[in-house]
Copies of this chain bind each other. A is one copy, B any other.
C-alpha cells in the first residue's frame, strides 16, 4: 500500500471510529503522546490524551447517531507526517433531534511503526448553507 493509501485509510478510520461512538475505537486512532491536540468545532483547544479522550466521551454520550460523508480537500505527506484537509458533511442525531452540518477539518497523522496515528484534529464550522454550495474545487 502506498503512503497516500495508508494515510487515507487512517483518516477514514478516524471517521469510522467517530461513527461507532465508542471511545475505545477512538483511542486506537490517536498517538498516545502529550503533544496531541484536538479542536472540536467552536471549542477551545484540548491537549494531551486525558482531556482529548474525555472530550470524545462527552460527545459520544450526547449523540445517538453520527454519519460522515467526507470530501478530501488536500492531502500532503512529508516523510513521517501527513496532513489531510477534509470537508465533513455530517448528519447527527442527538437529544435535540437530527442536525445536518458541514465541518472543515485539518487532520494530522504521524507514522508510528507501520501505522499512521492522529496527532491533531482541528474541526471548524462553515458558515455557508450546505445545499447552496458549489462542489469543492
Contacts and interface: CB of A to CB of B under 8 A. Distances in A.
Contacts of A43: 126-128
Contacts of A47: 73-74, 137
A106 B84 CA distance: 12
Name A's interface SS: strand
A79 B79 contact: yes
Interface residues of A, number: 38
Contact of A128 (B44, B128, B133): B44
A131 to B, nearest CB: 14
Interface in A86-119: 87, 104, 106, 108, 110, 119
Contacts of A48: 137
A76 interface: yes
Interface string A36-78: 0101011111111001000000000000000000000110101
Interface of A: 35, 37, 39, 41-48, 51, 73-74, 76, 78-81, 83, 85, 87, 104, 106, 108, 110, 119-120, 122-128, 133, 136-137
